Chains A and B, each alone.
Chain A
Amino acid sequence: MIEARPQPARKRRSISWRSREGRSVIYQVVAILSVIGAIALLVRNTLANMRERGIQSGYDFLNQPFGFDVSETLIPYEITSTYWTAFAIGMANTLKVAVVGIILATIVGTLVGVGRYSANWLVRKLCYAYVEFFRNVPIYLQLLIWYIVFTEVLPSYDELWQIGHFYLSKNGFSFPWPVWLLGQNLAMAGGLLGVVAAWLYARRSRRLFDQTGQQRPVALVGLALIVGMAIVGWLAGGAPNEWSLPSRGTFQIENGASVTPEYLALLIGLVLYTAAFIAEIVRSGIASVSLGQHEAAASLGLTKRQSMRLVVLPQALRVIIPPLTSQYLNLTKNSSLAVAIGYPELVSIANTTLNQTGRAIEALSIVMLVYLTLSLITSALMNWFNARAAIQER
């Protein structure tokens, strides 16, 4: 009989250079200590320098008046408003360009990316040329060029271009906008309710599909729910259909909604630049689904639409979404270049603050905090979506 092996001696948990665990503990302690030491040194130096140069610190300046004019505001602003308000406006302006930019860049990028697989030779080559050109020129330079186009090449106000109720000149772009009343608010609320209802319906029909194999027109019913509930909300609010139309005044366009040339330059520059990258991402996503998948779907008897929706798209999206997320974040971060063309977004406001108060650390920390929060939220959302789209491995 084989003798029972002696119980292995319990590992001694001592910190020694000879054991792997011991070394790893020592390395980590050294790493942490050196990081803490470096930070402490920097803080000490900074405090000493600030004392010496008489730089004041603290965030108390946020309650003082900003004292500069801000050309574009989504929030009421007066010359006496505080730095707080100014930063809030900067953030709103960043979001305004980022959200619109992301939507437009996705549309343009998808079209161009699909266009690179067009059966038409001209369209294919045109899309290729677009991608190569816009990708290989710095976004900063592109913004400067668009800025010149919008402030110098466009006609002056006296000779503005007008198509229907749309006006374009050096002063900006004006367009009709609905007068915002109770009806619009209720329509928005109805639309949101519709989204929830559509989501519930999609979940239920998915369960039914798993149980019985019967398919329901999820997309159609969902769309009908959202649009229908929005219309119900609009009707409940008295069906307002009043539009604020821009009209030509003596010095500027009156009424309607308008955007400044700075905003337009920034938006178009960011959209065209980012769309070139998104096009490449979409193209590689399409390329990643092998032909065999299309064929297998066809041999199972799926229709072309079903194979697109159930087989091809889920696999392509898996490749597309992670890099697409970083492009969205890049667009948001690149909007900080607006500091060069005078669009009052977050970094411009921080730059003005920095020059006026000399509080570099405080101003930059606010900017970094906002961008970090935005990136973390976006990554979290996209990781959640990505986890749903990822391969469900057994």
Chain B
Amino acid sequence: MSSTNSSQFQPITARPMPGRRTGIVAWLRANLFSGPINSLMTLATVALLAWSLSHAFDWAVARAVFGAQLEACNNARGLGACWGVIAEKGRLIVMGRYPDTEHWRPVIATALMLLVVGASCMPRFWNRWLPLAWLVMLAVYFTLMKGGMLGLTEVPTDQWGGLPLTVMLTVISMTLAFPLSIFVALGRRSTMPAIRTICTLYVELIRGVPLITVLFMASFMLPLFMPHGVTIDVLIRVIVGITLFSAAYMAEVVRGGLQALPKGQTEAAATLGLTYWQTQRKIVLPQALAMVVPSLMNTFIGMFKDTSLVTIVSLYELTGALSLALNSDADWRPFKIEAYLFITLIYFVFCFAMSRYSLWVEARTAVSKVR
């Protein structure tokens, strides 16, 4: 046994330099070309995107008509988009049937409403002035919209429309539905069987049927329910319908929060000698509601989208105002899809902003949980 080489020192060959971890090439390799399947997927996606985006660009920008020129639009039909329809009808779509000369009123009223709602979303404004701000806002809003006093001409509610109506329907019905939903949620967890049954029946019945049937009911059946000689404005009927509908969904969300609260909290409150309502108001609800803000926000987004259905019972909010604006004008009717894309953008901006807010709240509560 002899090892002739053992005395000779032979280093192994140096390892290659490690691959780059930073920079564009490394990023591309890690995220787009990490393996054969991944690379294929990237190429296929790029091809698909290139094909569809180039067509979309061609239609929406390159061959599109941007001014309100009907002739140019008709020539470009089928080849390019006619954004002129928005220049021509945009105001009618956003404002609905509200009289032309009075458009400043819904603009100011809606801006004020959005301002107060926006402020209510920020914790730094959560103090005792907030309810007052809401009361003032609602008073100013309805005075401005309805008119008939302070030298404003009266505008009946059937002429309200467009984006202001969409915003108002959502905000008012959710504001009304929120307290109702808290009572229903508490009722569903009550120890009293009769109250529990009534609340459960209400929630399950409403959640079992589509919103459209509730709206049909509000529009066709509510007048029949009223005593002789009493007529209710269709706007109020629809608000009642949406409120009852969304309260059932919100009640389930609130109930989720109530269930997630440990039992020790109510027991601790009981040992302190708090009554039922004191316990709910000071101990249970503040914690339960804080937990479900993101889900409540989701219900809010859902309702904002669902207001588009009221056009079926002839209230002309954003979607309805669009049909109203284009169906009456044979010249511009062929360019409906451009107008639809326009209001799609409006809805998207609102809903996306709300969902970002909900993510922010979620992150904020997650931080507060860390000790």
Contact = CB atoms under 8 A, between A and B. Distances in A.
B46 interface: yes
B290 interface: no
Nearest to A358: B220
Contacts of B41: 118, 120, 122-123
A333 B210 contact: yes
Nearest to B310: A140
Interface in B146-199: 191-195, 198
Given A27-B192, A50-B224, A364 B216 contact: yes
Contact of A123 (B45, B193, B305, B334): B45
B228 A48 contact: yes
Interface in A320-375: 333-334, 336-337, 339-340, 347, 351, 354, 360-361, 364, 367-368, 371-372, 375
A24 B35 CA distance: 68
A49 interface: yes
B318 to A, nearest CB: 9
A360 B222 CA distance: 11
B193 A119 contact: no
A71 to B, nearest CB: 20
Given A333-B209, A364-B221, A136 B351 contact: yes
A340 B228 CA distance: 33
B319 interface: yes
Most buried by B among A126, A136, A149, A340: A136
A77 to B, nearest CB: 24
Contact of B207 (A354, A368, A375): A375
Interface stretch (B6-14, B102-110, B137-145, B335-343): B335-343
A137 B351 contact: yes
A35 interface: yes
B365 interface: no
Contacts, number: 151
Contact of B208 (A31, A32, A371): A371
> For chain A, which range describes its interface: under 10, 10 to 19, 20 to 34, or 35 or more residues?
35 or more
Given A48-B228, A120-B32, A140 B213 contact: no
A93 to B, nearest CB: 15
B213 A121 contact: no
Contacts of A132: 352, 355
A122 B45 contact: yes
Contact of A361 (B38, B195, B224, B351): B224
Contact of B306 (A42, A138, A375): A138
A132 B311 CA distance: 25
B42 interface: yes
A24 B217 CA distance: 34
A141 interface: yes
Interface in B13-69: 31-32, 34-35, 38, 41-42, 45-46, 49
B125 interface: no
B301 interface: yes
A28 interface: yes
B213 A364 contact: yes
A145 B312 contact: no
Contact of A360 (B35, B38, B207, B224): B224
Interface in A139-167: 139-141, 144-145, 148-149, 152-153
A336 B205 CA distance: 17
Given A42-B225, A45-B224, A333-B210, A140 B319 contact: yes
Contacts of A137: 305, 344, 347-348, 351
B212 interface: yes
Contact of B193 (A28, A122, A360, A367): A28
A305 to B, nearest CB: 18
B313 to A, nearest CB: 11
Contact of B42 (A120, A153, A360): A120
Nearest to A375: B208
A376 interface: yes
Given A28-B194, A121-B31, A122-B42, A139 B305 contact: yes
B339 to A, nearest CB: 10
B122 interface: no
Contacts of B309: 140, 337
Most buried by A among B193, B208, B352: B208
A333 B216 CA distance: 14
B280 to A, nearest CB: 15
Contacts of B330: none
Contacts of B207: 375
A371 B306 contact: no
A393 interface: no
Given A50-B224, A140-B305, 11 more contacts: A27-B192, A46-B224, A48-B228, A49-B223, A122-B32, A135-B355, A136-B352, A138-B319, A145-B337, A351-B216, A372-B205
